[in-house]
Amino acid sequence: MSINQDEWFIEAYDGISAFGLKFSEKLYEAQSPFQKIEIFETPAMGRVLILDGCFMVAQKDTFIYHEMLIHPAMNLLANPRKALVIGGGDGGAVTELVKYKYLEEITLCEIDEMVTSSCRIYFPEVSRGLDDTRAIAAFEDGAAFVARHSNHFDAVFVDSTDPVGPGKALYEVTFYQSIKNSLRPGGIAVFQTESPIFMSDVFSETVEKLKSVFGNDRAIPYLAVIPSYPGAMWSFTMCFNGDRKPCIDMASGNENVPASLNYYNSKVHSAAFSLPEFVKNLARIVD
């Protein structure tokens, strides 16, 4: 089969691998002060949001990414009141958080307001959590924002892009220290930490940096399958400001997970933290 490049969007990774989707229409294209934003309609995955040439949201699998970013930590937290999402301008992470009625304050800190305004138009079902009365949006640099907060959040979710362009600052040790400092005792931070297959160096280095800040046994990676991201096997890393909770056995889970989810449940939770040998090696985890 031949591919007519005028009808396909292809994300090339490192110039040596690619994932592509045929599109029926290009709905939006803009250059924001930070990045190029594109939105396509595709027969295979529905609408897709592309930032600087990389898949961010695909209607067909976005629930997997956002549920797995948010619910594992929320299930482990006792009594969280305040949550922060850094990045995540599409609103998908906030939309998962508003499902927790006991959260009082849900802040989104996104550097690029144009991502949010375009997603509100083209992905209303993803961004609708932003309309919740508890949701507050701050359009500014996430590293600067978090550095101004201390002992404030119960949960922080870093929904970053790859470590290039505007996302680069979200992979620095000083940023990780500010995140730890912004957490209340017992708080949890979750970072999207890229593909252990195609971005194995970034994964490995990021987990190492997180361990150096949170403690060796307090930065725990877990996995989910996100078909529209390079390598599909995708990682997140959960970090504890205080004692590490038992991640795999759910004995301490608060059982408060919303009923209407499409991916996450307590067995998926345990499976996600059960790591393949090569991932344990990349994260230097010894059982």
Residue with tokens 């991640």: 247
Among 224, 167, 155, 158, which residue's Cα sits nearest to residue 195?
224
Q: Is the Cβ of residue 126 or residue 250 nearer to ligand AG3 in the bound state?
A: 126
Question: What does the DSSP 8-state code read for residue 162?
Answer: -
**Other beta carbons within 10 Å of 164:** 12
Task: Yes or no: say if 59 and 253 are a contact pair by the CB < 8 Å rule.
Answer: no
Contacts with ligand AG3 by CB under 6 A lie at 11, 54-57, 65, 88, 90, 92, 159, 161-162, 192, 229-230
Q: Tell how far CA 39 is from the center of its chain.
A: 19
Shortest distance, CB of residue 183 to ligand AG3, whole angstroms?
A: 21
DSSP code of residue 245: P
Nearest to 119 by CA among 87, 147, 149: 87
Give the residue with the Cβ less far from ligand AG3, 91 or 253: 91
Nearest residue (beta carbon) to ligand AG3: 54
Which run of H or E residues covers position 139?
none
Beta carbons of 266 and 253 less than 8 angstroms apart: yes
Least Å from the CB of residue 49 to ligand AG3: 8
Closer to ligand AG3 by Cβ: residue 57 or 183: 57
Residue 126 CB, shortest distance to ligand AG3, in Å, is: 8
Does residue 132 have an active-site annotation?
Answer: no
Among 159, 201, 243, 249, the one annotated catalytic: 159
Q: Between β-strands 105-109 and 135-138, what pairing exists: parallel, antiparallel or unpaired?
A: parallel
- Smallest distance from ligand AG3 to CB 260, Å: 19
Shorter beta-carbon distance to ligand AG3: residue 199 or 275? 199
Would you please indicate which residues are annotated as catalytic (active-site) residues? Answer: 159
